[in-house]
Amino acid sequence: MRYGGLRHMNILVIGREGRLKLYAPDWAEAEKYDIKYISPGASDDEIIERGAGAEVILADAMARVSGKVINALPKLKMVHSEGVGYNYFDIAAAKEKRVYVCNCKAANARAVAEQSVLLMLGLLRDVMNGDRAFREGKQLKEKEGHMLAGDLRELGECTVGLLGFGDIAQASAKILRGFGTRVIYSNRTRKTELERSLNVTYVNREEILEQSDIVSVYLNSNAETFHTVNAEFLAKMKEGAYVVNTARGDLVDSHALVEAIASGHIAGAGLDTVEGEPVEPDNPLLTAPAEVKDKLIFSPHVGGITGGAFRRCHEMFWYNLKRLERGEKPERVVNPW
């Protein structure tokens, strides 16, 4: 189709139709496009059939876009993640076919950072058990118990170690600065130029584990980082420390985490992502002993899905689409050639 002399590309959305309408920066303009939708759980053959003629795919960040799909759509020019992740996109096949794969880098950084700090505060103030005690009419007993134990802590008293120092970790450091928290970080590449402005100190991983009252994980998920937080990692952590994970579930060995909490070496964990999503009833984190469960806080992988984050993501997608229609290279390409 052509509008105003500019040809509009055909779009296949692997995701929910309602989100596009809700978050598109200009829905009246979007309605001029030929847009087809299919569920993220659809098979390759179903996607290929539905996507016939598609030049652009907008895919849920957790959807699968296989090499088979990419190679079966001859007009395809770009696969764009609806979020930051692209773990299930075959970027090698796309690169070979000269199909851009783009993401929404940093669009949800602040949102996930806020979730990280939320989990930190929840652990330090024992929010889950306090809520339960209140609902059971035991609030005074719970309050007196904490006063006698002196076990509720302020974030400003803690040293927080950031494992990885990308966009989300940097956004977390900005928030933690306001609490007066001592923040240290470990990263493959030292980012000296940010240390002064973010008030962070670079240390090696061993020092992160030795010094941190809270270790917050911000690594990418790949073969090298799989089960980074394992039994050896946890054993080296400061006694009584906490683990927070708002990155990818497979970075943490759930069995090892349960054992470390059960032993008393680790005080607890706040997890927005866990290994094996969607979570099944036999997940070791859910079948753990009661004394371990009381030291866990879960959130259902919602760190990055605020309305603001989604609006920024969709603005990035439509911006890249317009660039492609003008014959320009899109931005935030993850498979450059």
Active-site annotation, residues: 248, 277, 301
Residue 331 in tokens: 């931005």
Question: 3-state class of 87 per DSSP?
Answer: coil
Judge contact between 296 and 327, C-beta under 8 A: no
| Contact residues for 288 (Cβ-Cβ < 8 A; gap 6+) | 258, 261, 262, 296
Identify the H or E element spanning 298: strand 296-298
- DSSP β-ladder status, 182-186 and 159-163: parallel
CA 146 to CA 76: how far, in whole Å? 60
Residue 34 in tokens: 């030929």
| Contact residues for 43 (Cβ-Cβ < 8 A; gap 6+) | none
CA-wise closest residue to 23 among 333, 305, 326: 305
Q: What share of the chain is helix, strand, coil (3-state, %, to 5)?
A: 40, 20, 40
CA 46 to CA 81: how far, in whole Å? 19
CA 108 to CA 111: how far, in whole Å? 5
- DSSP β-ladder status, 6-7 and 2-3: antiparallel
Helix axes 127-135, 109-124, angle to 10 degrees: 60
CA-wise closest residue to 229 among 212, 253, 247, 208: 253
| Contact residues for 7 (Cβ-Cβ < 8 A; gap 6+) | 1, 325
